[in-house]
Amino acid sequence: MDPSADTSAKITDDHLERARLLIGYDEASSQRQQITVASEDSIRAFAMSFGCDNPLYCDPDYALLTRWGSLVAPGTMAVSMGAPLRGDPRPDHIARAKRHLFQGIHQLHSGNQWEWYRPIRPGDRLYRFGGQESLEVKKSEFAGRSVIRVQRDIVMNQHGEIVCIYRPLIVLSERSTAAKRGKYRNIERAFYTDEDLGRIDAIYAAEQVRGAEPRLWEEVAVGDPLGVMAKGPLTLSDIIALHAGGFGMVDFGPSSGRIRYQRRQKMPRAYTKTKLGIPDITMRMHWDDDWAREIGSPMAYDYGFQRELWLYHYLGDWCGDDGIVLRMAGQMRMFNFHGDTQTITGEVVDKQLGNGGATVDVKVRFTSQRGEVTMEATATVGLPSLAHGQAQYPLAPAHLAERAKSFLARHHELKGPD
C-alpha cells in the first residue's frame, strides 16, 4: 500500500493515456539492491530471514553432495538482488509519461507471478530490466475507478542468462481511507493461550524437509496433500529478520542516521512524522501500529512478499533437492496482521509429461487463525522421474533471451574497460 496516497486523488484519463504509452517499454534498472552478488553467507541469511533452514540453502557441505554441487538460493532471492545496470536514457515521450504518474493514488500489492529458468549460485551477479506489461481499468460505485498494473521484471546473471521473470500485480484505487478503515474495523489482535501455542508448535515439530530423498514423479498422485506448514504468530521480529536477511526495498526500506537524512531530502513525501514529531519512512505500517491505524488498518501487517517467500519455502521443502519450483502465482485475499498465524496447506491437482520433463501442478492456500483464506496460490514443480530423468529448468523465451544479451552488451559498452 502507498501510505502517502491522497484520499481525494482521482485516476484521470490523462493518467491512463500516459500509462498505456509505457506498455512494452523496457529499461535497465540502475538501482542497487541490498545484495548484488550471491554468496554462501547471503544465501543462508536470506533463507533464514523467513524461517527456512533447508540445508540446500544453508549448509555448504550438505549442498556439495547434491545434484547442484553447491548451495543454491531460494528462487525468490532474485527480488532482493540487483547490481546497477547501465542503459540509455529514457526517450522524451517516456520520461513525460512517467512524470508524476498516478501520484497520490493508493497502491496495493495484490498478487504475483514467477517463472524460473536458472538457479542462483554463489558468485552470481544479478541485473534486471523491465517495465509495465499490462494495464486493466475497472470501475465500480464503491471504489470509483481502479487500475490493475502488471510490472514485468526480468532478472539475468553476469552472463546475460535469464534467471527468472517476476510479475508483481499492483492495484491502484480511488477508495478513501474511511472506506478501508470500515472494511477492517472489526478485526482484533489475536491472543494466544498456552494451548493455542502448543497446537502451532505441534505443526512446526512435524514439518519435514524432503531433502536428499527424491520425490519421484511416478509416486505422486492427483489429490495428494503437500503437508502442513505454520508461519507465525507474526511479530515485529519477523519484519526485522526479513530486512536483516537482505530484503531492503532500497530507498523505501528502514534506514539510519545520515543515510535516512539523505533519503528524506531526496524523497520528502516518503516520510511523515511520528507522534513524537520524528520523520520516519511511510512504509513503517509494516511494523508501527500507530501509523498503520493512521492509514486505515487496525494494526501493522506483513509485506505481501513475505507470503511469497513462505510459499516458495513450502514448495521447496516438499519437492526435495532434486525438484525444481518452475512457476508460482499468488493472490492476496486478506491482510496478515501482526499476531496472525498462517497455516499453509496444498494438494496436487494435475500431472504432466512433455518437453519440460515430468511436472506437477499444485494449489496452495494460507489460512489464518480466524479461518480466513489470506492467500491462494498455484505452482508448477518439476520432479525427478524414473523414465524421464532429472527435473530441468526450461529455456527462457527466445525473444527475451535476446533482449537480455542486448541489455548486458550495452551495459558493458557504457561501462567501458575495467
Mean pLDDT of 107-130: 96
Instruction: Report the pLDDT value the prediction gives residue 337, as an integer from 0 to 100.
Output: 98
Residues 377 and 311: their CA atoms lie apart, in Å, by 8
Residue 178: pLDDT band with limits 50, 70, 90: very low
Distance CA(304)–CA(310), nearest Å, equals 10
| Set of cell numbers at residue 13 | 484519463
Q: Say what the pLDDT of residue 139 is.
A: 78
Q: What is the pLDDT of residues 333-346, one digit of tens each?
A: 999 999 999 999 99
Q: How many residues does the chain have?
A: 418
Question: When comparing pLDDT for 337 and 182, which is higher?
Answer: 337
pLDDT in tens, 222-244: 999 999 999 999 999 999 999 99
Domain assignments of the chain as residue spans, ordered by start: 1-38+73-186
Higher per-residue pLDDT: 253 or 327: 327
pLDDT of 249 above 70 = yes
304/110 Cα distance (integer angstroms): 8
Model confidence pLDDT, tens digit, residues 45-76? 999 999 999 999 999 999 999 999 999 999 99
* Residue that wins the pLDDT comparison between 415 and 60: 60
Q: Which amino acid is at 59?
A: D
Domain 1-38+73-186, CATH among 2.30.30, 1.10.1060, 1.10.10, 3.10.129? 3.10.129
pLDDT at 225: 98
Q: What mean pLDDT, rounded, does the chain reach? A: 93
Per DSSP, the three-state class of 249 is coil
pLDDT given for residue 143 in this prediction: 55
pLDDT above 50 (res 179): no
Please say if the pLDDT value at position 382 is more than 60: yes
Residue tagged 521443502 (cell numbers): 317
Instruction: Tell whether the model's pLDDT for residue 175 goes beyond 90.
Output: no
Going by the DSSP 8-state scheme, the letter that residue 159 receives in this structure is T
pLDDT at 418 over 80: no
The pLDDT of residue 176 is above 70: no
- 356: pLDDT strictly greater than 70: no
Cα distance between residue 68 and residue 55, in whole Å: 12
pLDDT score recorded for residue 140: 63
Answer whether 329's CB lies under 8 Å from 365's CB.
no
What percent of the chain has pLDDT above 90?
84
